[in-house]
Amino acid sequence: MAKVYLFGYYGFGNLGDELLARYFLSRIREAFPNTGIVLLTGDPRSRPEFGEERISRWNIPQITNLLQPGDLLVGGGGSIFQDATSKRSLLYYLALLNAANRRKARVMLFGHGFGPLSTLGALATGRVLRKVRALSCRDPLSAGLLEKMGVTCDRFRVGVDPLWDLPEIEPSGPGQEERRQGLRPARKKKPAPPPVIGVFLRRRGREKYKFALLKTVEREFPGAVRLFALAPGDASGLQGPLGSPRSRPAVYLENQVQLERACAGLSLVIGERLHGLLFAARLGIPGIGLGDDPKIAAFCRELGWASFSWQEPDLGDKIRKELADLWPSYAHVRQKTLAVREKMMATAREDRLWFLERIREDLC
């Protein structure tokens, strides 16, 4: 019987990617209880959760030998087809897909973001992706890049990030809604609780701008900032010069429960981590995007949120103005976020049915 081999940036402690692995494993196992599933991971000794086999992603010769004609090699979400952060990583994924093609296994890619890609990276990626049997991407920006690369596929869909369809573990607790409303007057004319602002930053690069950003936000809302990390490399927070008191540690969120609890107590999220912004939006919490990654700007555009590049002139002033404009209309912005959330979740459910049907077609 054909097996499903699932791959992505799994096994490295990046919470967004680990949740994608859980999502695809659970959905595939639920739909195909008797199908063998193999997870390609950077941590093959981790405990299986859905009866899957876990093997090292790095041993491509072993994977090639295991793949049989008719098996499915399934890519499950994430921005893995890009060479802005690592050209070696892109070459790995292209080599993996080429190995599957040589073994006459069937390649399917679901819920990925594509790009940024250099000219050479786009040429190499386009050549490999043209052989994919089914493909869905998570945003129109990725779809546009695929079109430019000449990637066509009979079974193609533009959807949303799969984590919009991730089941929520914990419902919002009592009192959290009032805290999110920030400046809304409380009963009996009591002072409204101050806003709480969650910040998700990448540790490396632009430290000067990031310290300036935190200073700007804390000047407007003293004691309001909470710094969070979604990846081990971000857990040390922001580091100033050696011996500097400026260093700002971050709270490392290691699982979905911790992430949902952290976001549930927030009024606003500012960040350059896509899944920090996404989980805030799942709870109806407005956000502001940061950074030079096109996927952040694209996500914020879909939500109707502001997004700023580190290259923006007068970035601090623009953030200050955005915050000043946001709070008087907070309830309205939140309602708009909730409306978009419902649309995204509905699309994600349709995406799930679509990708499971594509798997069913090729397994049967």
The token pair that represents 251 in the structure block: 């709270």
Answer yes or no: is pLDDT of 225 > 80.
Answer: yes
Q: How many Cβ atoms from other residues are within 10 Å of residue 64's Cβ?
A: 16
pLDDT at site 85: 86
On the question of a common fold for 4-159 and 176-344, the answer reads: yes
Instruction: Give the global pTM.
Output: 0.92
Q: What is the rounded CA–CA span in Å between residue 300 and residue 114?
A: 17
pLDDT at site 321: 94
- The per-residue pLDDT of the chain, averaged, comes to 91
CATH topology of domain 176-344: Rossmann fold (3.40.50)
Answer yes or no: is pLDDT of 68 > 60.
Answer: yes
8 A C-beta contact, residue 315 and residue 305: no
Of the listed ranges 51-60, 172-181, 207-216, the least confidently predicted one is: 172-181
CATH code for the structural domain at 4-159: 3.40.50.11930
Answer yes or no: is pLDDT of 199 > 80.
Answer: yes
Q: What is the rounded CA–CA span in Å between residue 273 and residue 288?
A: 11
The model's confidence at residue 189, banded by pLDDT at 50, 70 and 90, is: low
pLDDT at site 181: 47
Chain centroid to Cα 33, Å, comes to: 27
DSSP SS3 for 298? helix
Q: Tell me which amino acid residue 239 is.
A: Q
| Residue with token string 């009979």 | 154
Q: Which of 203, 265, 261, 279 is nearest to 20 (CA)?
A: 279
Q: What is the rounded CA–CA span in Å between residue 24 and residue 8?
A: 10
For the chain, which residues make up each domain, given as ranges? 4-159, 176-344
Q: Which of 62, 88, 70, 73 is nearest to 39 (CA)?
A: 73
Mean pLDDT of 306-321: 92
